[in-house]
Structure 1
Amino acid sequence: MLVFAFPVLFVAALSCLYLHLVTKLSDHNDRNTNRKNLKPRLAWRKRPVLVKGPLGVVSLTELLFLTMFMGLLSWSLYSYLTSMFTDISREAGDNHQQVWKSKLEMSGLAVGLVGNICLAFLFYPVTRSSSVLQLFGLTSESSIRYHIWAAHLALTFFTAHGLCYILFWASSDQISLILKWSKIGFSNLAGGVALLSGLAMWVTSIPSIRRKIFELFFYTHHLYILFVVFYVFHVGFSSTCLILPGFYLFLIDRYLRFLQSQQRVRLLSARILPGETVELNFLKSQELNYNPTSIMFVNVPGISKLQWHPFSITSSCEMDHQKLSIVIKSEGRWSSELYKKLSSSSSISMDRLEVSIEGPYGPVSTHFHRRDMLIMISGGSGITPFISIIRDLLFRANESLDTPRVLLISVFRKSLDVTMLDLLLPVSGTSIDIHSLKLQVQAYVTKEQGPSPDQNLIQTKWFKLDPLDAPVSAILGPSSWLWLGAIITSSFIIFLIVIGIVTRYHIYPIDHNSDMIYPSAPRAAVNMIFTCISIAIAATAAFVWNKKNKDSKEMRQIQNRDSPAEARTMSDSSWIYSDERELESLPHHSFLQFTEVHYGERPDLKKILSENCKGTSVGVLVSGPKKMKQEVAAICSSGFAENLHFKSMSFNW
């Protein structure tokens, strides 16, 4: 625990303090200075070097780290096998059959040990509020593929580990050992259960299955609980310390997400677009701050109580202090049912729709405004992360702060989808001069030759108020990073104290520090139980403390916004949003002068990028299908323009 667990948790706690200071400093610099130019220093590190292949678009930095990681695995496997085979040859002598069987057994042990290395890195990318990821400038949504890579490697090694032992037992007429649960040491049955759970998750994560039967993938992935529990029973808690830091941080994050998900949030309105797209507007706590490209996970119990889906936040924290917006396009069964539920009613006022959220999650700071130019290329619903960037730049431009030139290239299949461009300007009472931002929009409709007659029909529906709903807010308040660091530190200290007491007064009187007396399974169970209890105590205390402080503030905010609701009928709450109704048609007419729509054609991305690559630093942001990302990445990595800086904004499961 001192060697493997403590150093990482110590770094995670210090990272929380660092990120808290960086957030404050970044907010001050970004909002009060005119620094724009982002020097292309060491920009070659993020330049794509692999565009096509099973790994997707890979930058030079990612390729270097992946190469080093594979080198670590190869060296570890070689080191284990060399040491073990030497001992076998020395002990077995001329008995070649015994040598073969022993080498097969030791090979299984070696690949299992190497699989542990992969497993040690498995949970970091899926920890959404991870100070370790943010320390390296990463977010969970941008690191999902690292989780996929580590999972593929881990399950490959663990499968080989299981097969080697099955072959060894079969060749030695000991196949019944598969069902053996040893009192002391390794438990074969527990390892088999863990491996079967891992294989079920592995098979259902195949892209063809995950995309066609997402629910099967989603529900099966919850077997990670069974996998981890029986993995600990299989190897013992002491051997689990290698993977403990990543899973410990994941447990803290998962429990905080559970606490946040129990609160229903206040849904104010829904803007329904003809292209089967809907914008949901939530009441937001004024203390909640987030950066452009942040995401939020949404659950609608009326559709599914278990399913959570991520969506890009399209509102600007600077532009609108009381509302938070997301855009959902009907592309699957869950989103289609939500759209039908919202569009089926003809009334502008609807009953309350229960919604729970987790998040928001996003980068600690962004530097989009420091480029000379931003070229945003989107496909279909991939435009959503760019909406928040443009709204943020609109705010900066109206504050007389330096902003880059912006070129938005949006590709849609149908003309009705072009109405998503209307979401670039928020429907709010804020007076925004859209001419202050140097913005150009080019839309391409690939499947149709002209505009749809229903393109301008946008409906807005308001939801009835419910005093039980709360504004969207950070689970740990405005100082989330400090509180997260306190939870990591205090929970680990609680765990050490509790497990020390249990060891001294319960385990030690039985085994007297001998690993061959006290059963392995109860020891592992005690450690797992008290790990969870320690995290629950620390996280719950932090949650309750912050909830008491924010409840009074949120109640005043709701009362100020809803007042004088007592004098109005609850069935007609649209009067609260009268300022929005007056501006409902403004975005479409205002952005027409910036938009050039091309029907029946696709953009020539290479030509567009070559014509707009002038400037010290040009950011090329892509959000869309895989082929689009590969095409843009190939152009940016070709070397014809060294100042093009590629960044993928897509969030792929």
Structure 2
Amino acid sequence: MNVEVEKKSLSEEKYGRVQSVIRWLVLVMFVGWIFVWIMTPTNTYQQKLKHRLLAKTESVFDTQGANLLVYTSPILFIAALGCVYVHIAKKGKDSDMEKRKKHEVSIWKRLVLVRGPLGIVSATELVFLSMFIVLLLWSFSIYLHIGFAKITHKSAAEQGVKLWEKRLASAAVKLGLVGNICLAFLFFPVVRSSSVLPLVGLTPESCIKYHIWLGHIAMTLFTAHGILFIIYWAVTHQLSKMLEWKRKGISNVGGEVCLVAGLLMWIATIPRIRRKAFEVFFYTHYLYILFILFFMFHVGFSYACTMLPAFYLFLVDRYLRFLQSRYQVPLISARLLPCQTLQLNFSKSHGLTYSPTSIMFINIPSISKLQWHPFTITSNSNLEPEVLSVVIKGEGTWSQKLYQMLSSPSAIDHLSVSVEGPYGPASTNYLRYDTLVMVSGGSGITPFISIIRELLYLSTAFRCRTPKVILICAFKNSSYLSMLDLILPNSGTPFDISNMQLQIEAYITREEEHVLETQIHVQDIRFKPKATDAPISAILGPNSWLWLCAIISSSFIIFLVLIGIITRYIIFPVDYNSNKPFSQSLGSFLSMLAICVSITMAASVAVLWNKKHNDVEAKQIQNLEGAPSADKEVESLPHQSLIQATKVHFSVRPDLRRMLMEVEGTRVGVFVSGPKKMKQEVAGICSSGLAENLHFESYSFSW
């Protein structure tokens, strides 16, 4: 026994060393990449370093060779290393590792802004945002200084324009160049299976606000870029240039189409439009295809390589999502709660694991073939190895149609569903806290259900000490109390809730106590599986991160080979043997086509290879008709324990300040999921400095 423990310790130590090496290597490469962006506007880079790089790469890759080497390759290498890092983290994590993280609650996570246009912002986020703004200001000032130094009265007169007009055009160009820096970072937060974000402890869900910030800054700069050029053309009587599409160089029409597509996406992000007409926002965002394509037509593929790495990773992720969504998954059952909420239970493969607070995107073709909606996964992959559950609140048009479809007397016996995911954090850190306080409003309770089930699994399987859990949930009426029943797993896997210190404070804000019914009716629906249905499984199998590393690496190598062939045997012969240079727009299109072909080839091979394993496992999935029913759960001992842990308050809202101040423990994790005002209130309490033991974390799923 001691030998096994010693081997395990050595293995964990080896994992830790490899992860440390990866982190340091990634840090060095990322700092170097940022240094390149700092140097880019300077004469040192533009006139010396860039020319040396061009001299070494131009014979094979033309002008884009230098940019591929400097801007694209480092990030793709970091992404590949990130895949290895996450794979090791999943293999080597255990409870002892989590316990060692108890003292790692950093002051950098302290909140500095609670209300305002930026939302809830921590010290770390504010520092990095400030550094990014400084980078933009630095780049613009250096670009402007160098550009204005080259403009004189004589040079302006030779072009038939005034000095201020020439400087106006120069400033317009520099705004576009600075906007491209934002574009280089824009796609990182929306790569759902990102291997870069876990390196810094982030998830795509938590980074959506960064995508929003970058989008606003980029569109402000690009809009100013376009307006200044229109003003310049108007005052110099050159409005005809708006219809100019050059064979070589900047294509104005391409830029204008790109800007219009960007403006339509930007307008659709207005909060009122996004809330009231989500479909408009959702479908308008597909204009990113036109935006990127015509951006490349506008500036050429060579310069577009500066923003390529994040978009390249996004394309890999998007194609894998497309392949996964082609398969139909079996919906084995559904539970209809009286609060217009339903729980969907899917069959899943044993090899599919996911972390608490993970989400999954769902599409139901019978309602809409195009709409995809994200929902929190409430099941636990360890407690429920054959079932994956999501909870859907009937608030929007799509979810209301689904609820009505399932609750009708002539309910269907089979429902075709497509999914993408699950997506979630690579690791969790709940055991670092002495106490977990979870504050939710309405359906915001769903991510906390997954956390409680994870703690339930740890306390049952490993008999380890878990943090005390205080769940503070606010509901409009008593029908929402049925959501508390979802805390208990709906499978036959044994668990012991008595090992947990669970305290539930439920607040019914709009009803008196006498309205509460003694028994809440929950409707269960069973579906008949089809032979063609396959359980939800990881699209790249159990070693998905290693496969993703292989896809990123091999596809980029294939792309370099293709781009070398295109340059050597298609572009060069035209440039050197013809009076007309090779069309820059056509070259950009061929380069984008090469990227798509490379990613398609690498990802398709990986998915087909893993599909064989998934098909074998799918044949072993048994009919789950024997799963426990809701009636059996109601009478179970765990349910009685849940009732004893619950205290219901009527016609009153929770006094969050008093409750949080009274929580004992040196490290108290305060998690909140719900309306914006609730998040701001909790964040304000945690950042007030009145209780140093409170550490705030928000769950916001605003895809």
One fold, TM greater than 0.5?
yes
- Where does residue 527 of structure 1 map in the other structure? 591
Given the alignment of the two structures, is residue 428 of structure 1 paired with residue 491 of structure 2, yes or no? yes
Hey, what's the Cα distance between the residues in 2 that align with 1:430 and 1:596?
Answer: 27
Q: Is contact 1:8-1:245 (8 Å) kept?
A: yes
Match of 1:591 among 621, 628, 642: 642
TM-superposed CA distance for 1:576, in Å, is 3.0
| Residue 242 of structure 1, CA deviation | 0.7
* CA displacement 1:388-408 (0-9 Å, x = unmatched): 110111111122112010000
- Give the partner amino acid of 1:119: L
Distance 1:405 1:624 in 2: 21
Corresponding residue for residue 570 of structure 1: none
Structure 2: distance between partners of 1:240 and 1:544: 32
1:636 aligned residue (686, 690, 702): 686
Partner secondary structure for residue 226 of structure 2? helix
> Which residue matches 2:700?
650
CA deviation after TM superposition for structure 1 residue 116, in Å: 0.2
Q: Cα distance, 1:72 vs. partner?
A: 0.5
Does residue 415 in structure 1 map to residue 478 in structure 2?
yes
Structure 1 residue 40: deviation in Å? 4.0
CA shift at 1:97, angstroms?
6.1
Change (3 A) 1:3 1:424: same
- In structure 2, the residue matched to 1:567 is none
Counterparts in 2 of 1:262-411, with a 5 A limit?
262-345=326-409, 350-399=412-461, 400-411=463-474
Q: Supply the distance in 2 between the matched residues of 1:282 and 1:590 (Cα, whole angstroms).
A: 27
1:220-264 Cα deviation digits (max 9, x unpaired): 110000111000000000000111000000000000000000011
Other structure's SS at 1:431 match: coil
SS in 2 for 1:640: coil
1:68 is the counterpart of 2:135: no
Q: What is the SS of the residue equivalent to 2:360?
A: strand
Contact 1:374 1:620 in 2 (8 A): yes
Q: CA deviation at 1:431?
A: 2.7
Q: SS state of the match for residue 381, structure 1?
A: helix
Q: Is the 8 Å Cα contact of residues 38 and 617 (structure 1) preserved in structure 2?
A: no
1:245 paired residue number = 309
User: In structure 2, how many angstroms separate the alpha carbons of the residues matched to 1:132 and 1:390?
Assistant: 28
The 1:458/1:513 distance shift into structure 2, 3 A limit, reads farther
Please say if residues 524 and 630 of structure 2, whose CA atoms lie closer than 8 Å, have aligned partners that are also in contact: no
Q: 2:507 matched to 1:444?
A: yes
* RMSD of Structure 2 on Structure 1 (CA): 1.9
2:490 touches 2:627 (CA, 8 Å); kept in 1?
Answer: no
Q: Could you tell me which residue of structure 2 aligns to residue 83 of structure 1?
A: 146
Give the whole-Å Cα distance in 1 for the aligned partners of 2:519 and 2:139: 60
Give the TM-score of the pair, scaled to structure 2: 0.87
Q: Which residue of 1 aligns with 2:268?
A: 204
CA-CA distance at 1:453 after TM superposition: 2.9
Please tell me whether the aligned partners of residues 444 and 598 of structure 1 are also in contact (alpha carbons under 8 angstroms): yes
| Equivalent residue for 2:285, pick from 187, 204, 221 | 221
Query: Does the residue aligned with 1:39 lie in a helix, a strand or coil?
Result: helix
| Aligned 1:225-236 pairs, distance under 5 A | 225-236=289-300
What pairs up with 1:600-615 in 2 under 5 angstroms? Answer: 600-612=651-663, 614-615=664-665
1:569 is aligned to: none
Q: Deviations over 1:162-205 (max 9, x none)?
A: 00110111111111111111111111111100100000000011
Aligned to 2:534: 470
CA contact (8 A) 2:151 2:166 kept: yes
Choose 74-83 or 505-514, whichever is displaced more. Answer: 505-514
Q: Secondary structure of 1:327's match?
A: strand
Report the counterpart of residue 6 of structure 1 in structure 2.
73
Q: Secondary structure at the match of 1:314?
A: coil
1:409 partner SS: strand
* Greater RCO (Cα-Cα under 8 Å, separation 6 or more): 1
Alignment of 1:120-135 (within 5 A): 120-135=184-199
| Contact map agreement 1:286 1:321 (CA 8 A) in 2 | yes
Amino acid at match of 2:344: L
Q: Secondary structure at the match of 1:85?
A: helix
Shift of 1:266: 1.0
The Cα offsets for residues 363-396 of structure 1, whole Å up to 9 and x where unpaired, read as: 1110112311100000111000000110111111
Q: 2:109 aligns with which of 38, 43, 46?
A: 46
Tell which deviates more after alignment, 15-24 or 225-234.
15-24
Give the stretch that moved more between structures: 640-649 or 115-124.
640-649
Partner-residue secondary structure (3-state), 2:345: strand
Return the alpha-carbon distance in structure 2 between the equivalents of residues 470 and 519 of structure 1: 47
Offset of residue 502 of structure 1: 1.7
SS at match of 1:502: helix
Give distance in 2, aligned partners of 1:464 and 1:93. 77
SS in 2 for 1:444: strand
Instruction: Please state whether the residue corresponding to 1:496 is helix, strand or coil.
Output: helix
The amino acid of 1:611's aligned partner reads E
Report if the CA contact (8 A) 1:264-1:469 is conserved.
yes
Distance of 2:391 and 2:303 partners within structure 1: 45
Shift of 1:277: 0.5
Decide whether the 8 Å contact of 1:314 with 1:325 is kept in 2.
yes
Instruction: State the partner residue of 1:21.
Output: 88
> Greater share of helix residues, 1 or 2?
2
User: 1:107 and 1:513 mapped to 2: Cα distance?
Assistant: 37
Instruction: Please tell me whether the aligned partners of residues 272 and 278 of structure 1 are also in contact (alpha carbons under 8 angstroms).
Output: yes
8 Å contact 2:103–2:432 — kept in the other structure?
no
Give the letter for the 1:139 counterpart. Answer: T
Establish whether residue 194 from structure 1 lines up as the match of residue 254 from structure 2.
no
1:37 deviates by 6.7
Alignment partner of 2:298: what SS?
Answer: helix
1:481-529 Cα offsets, whole Å, 9 max, x none, are 1000000000000011111112111211121499982111111111011
Report the Cα offset of residue 281 of structure 1: 0.6
Gaps of 5+ in 2: 1-67
What is residue 38 of structure 2 aligned with on the other side? none
Q: Is the partner of 1:460 in helix, strand or coil?
A: strand
Query: Is the Cα contact below 8 Å between 1:287 and 1:473 reproduced in 2?
Result: yes
SS at 1:202 equivalent: helix
- What SS is found at the alignment partner of 1:185? coil
> Once the two structures are aligned, what percentage of the paired residues are identical?
54
Call closer, same or farther: CA 1:498–1:117 in 2, change over 3 Å.
Answer: same
Measure how far apart 1:265 and its partner are: 0.6
Corresponding residue pairs, total: 632
The DSSP-based 3-state class of the residue aligned with 2:370 is coil
Contact 1:114 1:157 in 2 (8 A): yes
User: Which residue type is aligned with residue 637 of structure 1?
Assistant: S
Letter in 2 for 1:522: L
* Aligned 8 A contact 1:39 1:616 in 2: no
Partners of 1:173 and 1:509 in 2: how far apart? 38
Deviation at 1:10, TM superposition (A): 0.8
User: Which residue does the alignment assign to 2:677?
Assistant: 627
- Taking structure 1 as reference, are residues 91 and 3 closer, same or farther at Cα in structure 2, changes over 3 Å only? farther
Contact 1:377 1:409 in 2 (8 A): yes
Alpha carbons of structure 1 residues 585 and 113: separation in structure 2 relative to 1, 3 Å = farther
